[in-house]
Structure 1
Amino acid sequence: MDEIIAFDQALFLELNSHQSPFWDAAMVLISNKYVWFPFYGVLVGLFIYFYKRKGWLMVLSLGASVGLADFISSGILKPTVARLRPCHDAMLGTVNAIDGCGGQYGFVSSHAANAFAVAIFVILLLPKKQWLFKILLLVWALAISYSRVYLGVHYPGDITAGALIGIATAWLSMYFYRKASERFLFWQR
């Protein structure tokens, strides 16, 4: 375990050491959850507009995916594991924390968990021919995740674990979405 932690710290220091004024501003913007609210609003609107009642089930399922990912990451793992964020870890020395440090604990990244919960759930909903939009969703989730390392608030391991939680909750929510949409006639219109 010590070797994994040492690798995670070394990778963090390498990724966090490359800074520029342009990327500082870009990563702060990418990492800001409020910047993405219009995107979420459009997504919800499209689900409801095109799928009517089934769209509402999609929205509820997507909300469950994100809510569960956020609860597991912030409500359970951060206080239980209690791993310091890189910007709070004095053992690392100087960390480029561009936009403040946030809470004390960072394992796992809620940003990564939530972004991957959204991206994977929507990817699973989309037809196969929508490959370009699927790639854009993955790039979006990866950009948000990487921004957390760039900003000095998460280790790469925090991001990886958060992404895995988001992927798992998306799959679980998709499973229940499909079961509900098949079983209950109300959601089929």
Structure 2
Amino acid sequence: MIETIKIWDEELFLFLNSFHFDWLDPVMYAMTKTLVWVPLYAFLVYIIIKKLGQSSIWIFIGIFLAILISDQTTSGFMKPFFERPRPCHDPRWEGIMFNYKRCGGMFGFASSHASNTFALATYLWLTFKRKVPGFGWMFLWAAIVSYTRLYLGVHYPADLIVGAIVGLLAGWFSWWLVIKIKMTAIRKVEKMDE
């Protein structure tokens, strides 16, 4: 069964990776870099501080936790454990697949780009769904960033899907944990005031 899924994953990768355009290659490459998203991150920081003021520290703690958990799960545990080579490191695809500029580390399962962006999207959506309508667009952003990895030939679809799931879980867990910690802190302050 796992072997069949792996074959389907590779076939889907080769099919989707075959759709590329010379003019789009540098755009997709730029979109996979952190620097291009600095204005978005600055905008998010502005919204968070504007909506929550001093209590925004809890949001930044949650974001840090979500990304730390997602990144360490994929990069620190999954990639060295599963040791699945990136498609651009697999000699079977030489001359068949498209890879732009660079390949990255040897192993790609699961995608840290997918896990980190989906962790951020999930955490912010859960935190702001009642306060700031429309935060669901972050999931589209996470999907686009994730897709750039397939387009550039550095991840299989399963790498992205599993990475996204890890990110969703990390974002949810961080959101839940920050609420618990915050409630505990509030209770302690209230007891001290009594």
Contact 1:70-1:114 within 8 A present in 2 as well: yes
**Cα RMSD (Å) of the superposition?**
1.8
Match of 1:18 in 2: 19
Q: Secondary structure at the match of 1:132?
A: coil
Q: How many pairs are equivalent?
A: 186
Deviation (angstroms), 1:35: 1.2
Contact 2:88-2:103 within 8 A present in 1 as well: yes
Match of 2:175 in 1: 174
Match of 1:125 in 2: 127
TM-score by length of 1: 0.91
Matched, 1:85 2:86: yes
Deviation (angstroms), 1:47: 1.8
Match of 1:55 in 2: 56
Match of 1:70 in 2: 71
Question: C-alpha distance in 2, partners of 1:33/1:156?
Answer: 21
Moved over 6 A (4+): none
Question: C-alpha distance in 2, partners of 1:80/1:27?
Answer: 29
Aligned residue runs from structure 1 range 140-159, under 5 A: 140-159=141-160
Match of 1:115 in 2: 117
CA offsets 1:79-131 (integer angstroms, 9 cap, x no match): 11110000011123322111311111100100000000001111111234855
User: Quick one: percent identity of the two aligned structures?
Assistant: 34
TM-score by length of 2: 0.89
Q: Which runs of 5+ in 1 are unaligned?
A: none
Matched, 1:36 2:37: yes
